[in-house]
Structure 1
Amino acid sequence: MFFRNLTLFRFSKAVADDLARLAEVLPDHALRPVGGMEMFTRGFVAPVRGGEDAPLTHAVSHFTLFTVGGQDKMLPASVVNTELQRKVQKITEEEGRPVGGRERKRIKEDLFTELLPRAFVNETRLAGYVDTRGGWLVLDTSSRKAADNALTQLREALGSFPAVPLAPEEGPRVLLTDWLANGTLPVRLQLGDECELRDPASATGAIIRARRQDMHSDEIKEHLRNGKQVFQLGLVFNDRISFVLGEDLVVRKLKFLDAVLDDLGDSHENALAEASASFALLTLELEKLLGFLAECFGLPRPEDA
């Protein structure tokens, strides 16, 4: 249940009111099996495991959990090309003539049609939740493409969902660099043990990645003195959550520390009770973290139109 990455969007209070329809509309957009001649399908699946009739949302307080599922046909180009070469060679040997470009294209299209229904199907899951009080859409991914696809699914289900990417008032790269170079971190933050430094003025795009490294070391300070800036920085919040924050404000390598896990305990009546407890703890901790990031970087909630 615990998320590993966070890609964030914001929405207004008026939009939050419309999200009460999620439980009602998602069943009409549930994931269906990919068809024989389809490359992929997308839709919603139950965020908490259960039978076929398991609900497609799971709500705790003002947080609603959902999961976008996908089925993708895996048909590697190498498989198609190998079969294409075999057929071309057979025609050449049996008919004694070369195979032209147009004919090769037609054969390849026929092969694709023949092989697609037998292709391996890969299933994907992307969890997310909406915080109607705070105006956050939180997606468990560091991929902007995957996040945009999930947002598209929500918009199709709701008819519209004007959630917007983060628009920081404070430059994240400047602030992260200042935190590392001058030790000006806010009270509730500590430096982690990794960072990514880049020289924005370098035509070669020089990149330094440090892991399991003392961020106060002379080596790190020397890179900063030479003009490199922080593009990713490992941080610890309240001694409860560690993560890597990027200059794109995507949270990566999210990890809940022992202080949080101890609060969860291990005595739950069933899977649903365990999922509810985990989700409640997750959202409680992230509500504090997201509020803190909003304060640091200036991430205001959009105003109602």
Structure 2
Amino acid sequence: MWFKQVSFYPLNKEKLPQADTLADKLREAEFAHCQGLDWFSEGFAPPVPFSPELVFPADYTWRVALKKEEKVLPAGVIRDILDERVLRIQDEEGRSVGRKEKQELKEQITDDLLPRAFTRSGRTQAVFDTRHGYLLINNASSAKAENVLTKLREALGGLEASLPNTKQSPSSLMTSWLLQGHGEGGFELDSDCELKGVGDVVPVVKVSKQDLTADEVVQHVKNGKVVTQLGLVWREQLAFVLTQDFTLKRIQYLDVLQEEAENNGDDAASLMFASQILMTEALSTMLEELVGYLGGWQD
């Protein structure tokens, strides 16, 4: 599985556990289905469909997955049952039902229905890059990425990971590249961007599938707007949208990477092995180059 969006955290490589230790710790925090009155359950689950193991190692990369299961109990169902009970009390007892009693009835109805509720589940995958020192999480939502990191820290008893805080902000660099009409090094401008202005009502301009060097696009920067998202292509391997929060969205792995993975894998396991290494190496190498243009990490 190729990650389509990424939040990442620099890691202390010297204090990472061994792969077998990681697997043992995650086993203690393994996923279990929702029980009884639980609204949701979270835990680590196998990251690949062809193996029951909680860690899928590929050379210096380790893939893990956090699974969440939630009960689905539509508010309309609870409301309909509540209305029926309130009406029955009014008819049988000849009295009105107050707000406090309605809330108690609602809680009783919820407790009755919860064990029989439908469930939905999802997984968030992550890869430890032990060579470059990154945790790559397949989600651009800061809340969901932080949740995965928190669960890993709880399972491992600590994990030295930090937010990607560079000396120059991504927004400043993206604005500079758009103004000069090109990226630097292995980075080229793609065809999408988002710009924001300032003020009580913040103006937002979204550009899609256009030449970003066109005067009408660059003029937005000259008028004081800053770039908050920018489409980039890196060394003919990756196309993605970089955000001001230093996340990657809409990642595309160009033909050269996908073909190399297919040439190295003739079954599900070997294809996953090859693609995991190639994906991680491309993302981490690109991030290291990008961090260089951002002035390096803050002390």
Normalising by structure 2, we get a TM-score of: 0.94
1:19/1:59 Cα in 2 relative to 1: closer, same or farther (>3 Å)? Answer: closer
Name which of 195, 203, 207 aligns with 2:204. 207
2:23 alignment partner in structure 1 = 23
After the TM superposition, list the runs of 4 or more consecutive aligned residues in structure 1 that deviate by more than 6 angstroms. Answer: none
1:82 alignment partner in structure 2 = 80
Corresponding position: 1:287 with 2:288: no
1:208 positional shift: 0.9
Look up the SS of the partner of 1:287 in the other structure.
Answer: helix
CA contact (8 A) 1:19 1:132 kept: no
Look up the SS of the partner of 1:195 in the other structure.
Answer: strand
Q: State how far apart, in whole Å, the 1-side matches of 2:298 and 2:34 are.
A: 38
The alignment's C-alpha RMSD in Å is: 1.8
1:119 alignment partner in structure 2 = 117
Name which of 94, 105, 108 aligns with 1:107. 105
Q: State how far apart, in whole Å, the 2-side matches of 1:292 and 1:270 are.
A: 33
**Counterpart amino acid of 2:45?**
V
Deviations 1:236-264 (A, max 9, x none): 00011100000110111111011221212
1:152 positional shift: 1.4
1:177 alignment partner in structure 2 = 175
1:299/1:94 Cα in 2 relative to 1: closer, same or farther (>3 Å)? Answer: farther
1:277/1:221 Cα in 2 relative to 1: closer, same or farther (>3 Å)? Answer: same
**Counterpart amino acid of 1:71?**
E
Percent identity between the two aligned chains: 31
Name which of 181, 188, 191 aligns with 2:189. 191
Deviations 1:22-58 (A, max 9, x none): 122111111111112101111111111136xx11101
5+ long unaligned stretches in structure 2: none
1:18 positional shift: 6.1
Deviates more, 1:76-85 or 1:132-141: 76-85
Q: How many residues align?
A: 299
**Counterpart amino acid of 1:240?**
Q
Look up the SS of the partner of 1:194 in the other structure.
Answer: strand
1:141 alignment partner in structure 2 = 139
Q: State how far apart, in whole Å, the 2-side matches of 1:131 and 1:264 are.
A: 18
1:254 alignment partner in structure 2 = 251
1:185/1:134 Cα in 2 relative to 1: closer, same or farther (>3 Å)? Answer: same
1:273 alignment partner in structure 2 = 270
**Counterpart amino acid of 2:175?**
T
Name which of 214, 218, 232 aligns with 1:217. 214
Look up the SS of the partner of 1:168 in the other structure.
Answer: coil
Deviates more, 1:170-179 or 1:20-29: 20-29
1:166 alignment partner in structure 2 = 164
CA contact (8 A) 2:181 2:212 kept: no
